[in-house]
Amino acid sequence: MSFINYSSKEINCKIVYYGPGLSGKTTQLKYIYDTSEPDTRGKLIAVSDENSRTLFFDFLPMEMGNINGFKSRFHLYTVPGQIPYESSRKLILKGVDGVVFVADSQRERMDANKRSLAKLSEYLEDYGYSINNIPLVFAYNKRDINGVVPLDEISKELNSFSAPEFETVSVSGTGVFDVLKSITRLVLEELKGGRKI
């Protein structure tokens, strides 16, 4: 849940990048960190194993400018995709303001995408959210690989929510900032709609 400090005129929002293992969540955060202006980002914190797989989470604070006189900060998190870290994935969703679902576009990963999306919905419900009402954006990743699921098919399989969706390539950054802009806009619209700012 967003935290608004009226005395210091600051808004803090939490965005979680969610998806199956090796879908590109951490790589998207690293690309954002590597290509953002140093004065708009904090330190990237990554808790990973010897193979650079996320163990608990990755965290990147970003400043997104002023909105209605409030300084906006977005705290970007990724969840670990591996099955043994299921409890971590759920814990990181606590207090979330928006979700980026990073799907692996390879056909053999469609079942993993569907399982991950079902778990996301379940965990959100446990915290009193509905996947149908929370700001949500889809990043169909690895679009540079031959033989990926066509866009209309992957959209039909995963995005029954009519959420914004983008084709991405995490390693080159294709679409990564489009996703970030979309989810931050949706989160801010939600805050404005609730008349918190």
Task: Tell me the CB-side half-sphere exposure of residue 9, using CA atoms within 13 A.
Answer: 7
- Nearest Cα neighbor of 44 from 54, 62, 59, 57 is 59
Q: pTM value?
A: 0.92
Sorting pLDDT into bands at 50, 70 and 90, what band is 81?
A: low
Sorting pLDDT into bands at 50, 70 and 90, what band is 165?
A: very high
- 137-162 pLDDT, tens digit each: 999 999 999 989 999 999 999 999 99
Sorting pLDDT into bands at 50, 70 and 90, what band is 164?
A: very high
Q: In this predicted structure, what is the pLDDT of residue 55?
A: 46
Radius of gyration of the chain (CA): 16
Q: In this predicted structure, what is the pLDDT of residue 66?
A: 82
- Measured between alpha carbons, how far is 167 from 155 in angstroms, rounded to an integer? 10
Task: Tell me the CB-side half-sphere exposure of residue 84, using CA atoms within 13 A.
Answer: 4
Q: Is 92 exposed, middle or buried (0-12, 13-18, 19+ CB in 10 A)?
A: buried
- Per domain, the residue ranges of the chain are 3-192
* Contact yes or no for 13/25 (Cβ under 8 A): no
Q: Which DSSP state fits 31?
A: H
DSSP lists the bridge partners of residue 137 as: 100
The reply to whether CATH 2.40.50.140 applies to domain 3-192 is no
Q: Is 84 exposed, middle or buried (0-12, 13-18, 19+ CB in 10 A)?
A: exposed
